[in-house]
Amino acid sequence: EGGGAMAAAGAEPAGPGSLAVLGPVPGAPSCPHGPALLFVKTSQGKEEGRRFYACSACRDRKDCNFFQWEDEKVSETRLAAREEYNRNHHPPFTHRQNVDRYKNFVMLPLSKRRFCQECQQLLLPAEWEKHSDHQFLCDITTAQLKSPSQLLHPLENKKTNAQYLFADRSCRFLLNLLRDLGFRRVLSVGTPRLHEMIQSRASQEEEFSVRSLLLDIDFRYSQFYTEDEFCHYNMFNHHFFGGEAARETCRKFLYEENGERVIMVTDPPFGGLVEALASSFKKLMAMWKETEKEGHDNKEMPMFWIFPYFFESRILDFFPSFSMMDYQVDYDNHTLYKHGKTGRRQSPVRIFTNLTPSMIVLPEEEGYRFCTVCERYVSSGNQHCEICNSCTSKDGRRWKHCVLCKKCVKPSWFHCNNCNCCTLQKHSCEKSAVGCFVCGKAGHKRSACPSLSRT
């Protein structure tokens, strides 16, 4: 975009309150990441100010500065400039070209197989010159080509695109679980490491019959997979960058030929936008449903949505048929979530699924046990509460029941009589959502209470 858009971006609503996504709407303008999403600033649940379009994939203006007011009149010249800009912001090679390059690359002797670390690209000998002052890796083995998630460096954009790769243990657990459940096809949405594990086992073991299709916005993966194995996809607006052909690849994959059952596994960035994700996942589910004439008897496409436990209520808002499993998903490159050598760091990341919870068998050797009342596997620390009649812990620690709140709460909480609920020991009562400590009304703190200003 030209300077006009930059200026508009500067006028973007700022300050407290939060942003709500009004969704992917028909006729939305596009940026290089596909159709933009319509947003509005909200304050206490109410819309405030002008609605605007912004990039669906990048929350950092540095990565994509697309911005347009909903009611803004965009001139023909600016529209043309925008189209030109979108065209020029394609990756250097197409997926097709990358597939051909790969074919040439694997025919090279080991000594000629280089990977440019700066450009994150496999290099053919004719291109060495151009990258001569870049860092590169030599002697790229077939094993390395089969583990692109190890070769590529994880994207680190803090705001939305950080890539957190499954620890081997968690990845193997997921794969064994879905195999035990009888699934033969995995739609891997933002799970390159699971995809890679499936691909490499399928190429090595004859009796391994699971297949995977990776949908991800990280186009670097197109260097390693064919168009039948990878689609460049944006999960915030359900956009297939490869157009109708890519969409068709996905549709074909979802069609359960020879009774090969499909499951979708997704591990989206945690930066929020749950409503945008849910809207895309519903479209993928609809795609699955349409592949079957009988419409799958009102069934939903089986799904694992991997996400932090504190998003539970948000996810259930959109998918009431889902439940949260206690299994803690671990990551390699996430310092907070990864298992320590001594004692275990608790990961907040869980599996949400529409499969029957009792079918999701969690490993007893890692401390999970089956609760016969709840009919699901739970963390060892998760005690069944007789009063709630459920295993209530969300974070794996033992929670305690509060008779006043009539529910179980975190072990570190206590019941505050001012706030009339359980909360952290250290808190200021006036901040409570219940309302002002003095008059009980919401919307102001004790220090600003109008009933005190009379004095």
Alpha helices in 45-154 (DSSP H): 76-88, 95-107, 142-145, 148-151
CA distance 199 to 210: 8
CA distance 51 to 140: 49
> Across the strands, what pairs with 350?
307
Contact indicator for 152, 121 with CB cutoff of 8 Å? no
Contact indicator for 360, 319 with CB cutoff of 8 Å? no
Determine which residue in the list 32, 34, 148, 190 makes contact with ligand SAH, applying CB under 6 A. Answer: 190
CA distance 198 to 172: 10
DSSP 3-state of 376 = strand
Q: How many other C-beta atoms are found inside a 10 Å radius of the C-beta of residue 338?
A: 15
> Which one of Zn ion, ligand SAH, none interacts with residue 247, CB within 5 to 8 A by kind?
none
Q: Does 134 contact Zn ion by CB under 5 A? A: yes
Residues 10-39 that bind ligand SAH (CB under 6 A): none
Q: Does 371 contact Zn ion by CB under 5 A? A: yes
Determine which residue in the list 191, 199, 379, 383 makes contact with ligand SAH, applying CB under 6 A. Answer: 191
Q: Does 194 contact ligand SAH by CB under 6 A? A: yes
Of 37-45, 94-102, 159-167, 357-365, the segment contacting ligand SAH by CB under 6 A is: 159-167
Residues 224-243 that bind ligand SAH (CB under 6 A): 233-236
Bridge pairing between strands 349-353 and 369-371: unpaired
Q: Does 392 contact ligand SAH by CB under 6 A? A: no
Query: What are the tokens at 49?
Result: 């100010």
Q: How far is the CB of 134 from Zn ion (least distance, A)?
A: 4
Determine which residue in the list 175, 391, 419, 436 makes contact with Zn ion, applying CB under 5 A. Answer: 391
* Stretch 261-280: interaction string toward ligand SAH, x if CB under 6 A: ------xxx-----------
> Which one of ligand SAH, Zn ion, none interacts with residue 265, CB within 5 to 8 A by kind?
none
Residue 145 vs residues 40, 188, 222, 377: alpha-carbon distances, Å: 44, 19, 12, 37
Q: Among residues 287 and 419, whose Cβ is nearest to ligand SAH?
A: 287
Determine which residue in the list 164, 183, 224, 240 makes contact with ligand SAH, applying CB under 6 A. Answer: 164
Q: Does 422 contact Zn ion by CB under 5 A? A: yes
Q: How far is the CB of 188 from ligand SAH (least distance, A)?
A: 7
Q: Where are the beta strands (DSSP E) in 144-296?
A: 185-189, 211-216, 230-234, 239-240, 262-266
Of 96-104, 117-125, 271-279, 343-351, the segment contacting Zn ion by CB under 5 A is: 117-125
Q: How far is the CB of 165 from ligand SAH (least distance, A)?
A: 4
The DSSP 8-state label assigned to residue 361 in this structure reads P
DSSP string, 143-166: HHHT-HHHHSPPP--TTTT---PB
Q: Among residues 217 and 301, whose Cβ is nearest to ligand SAH?
A: 217
Contact indicator for 167, 331 with CB cutoff of 8 Å? yes
> Which one of ligand SAH, Zn ion, none interacts with residue 57, CB within 5 to 8 A by kind?
ligand SAH
Q: Does 375 contact Zn ion by CB under 5 A? A: no
Q: Point out which residues bind ligand SAH (CB under 6 A).
A: 57, 161, 163-166, 190-194, 216-218, 233-236, 267-269
User: What residues make contact with Zn ion under the rule CB under 5 A?
Assistant: 116, 118-119, 131, 134, 371, 373-374, 384-385, 387-388, 391, 401-402, 404-405, 408, 415, 422
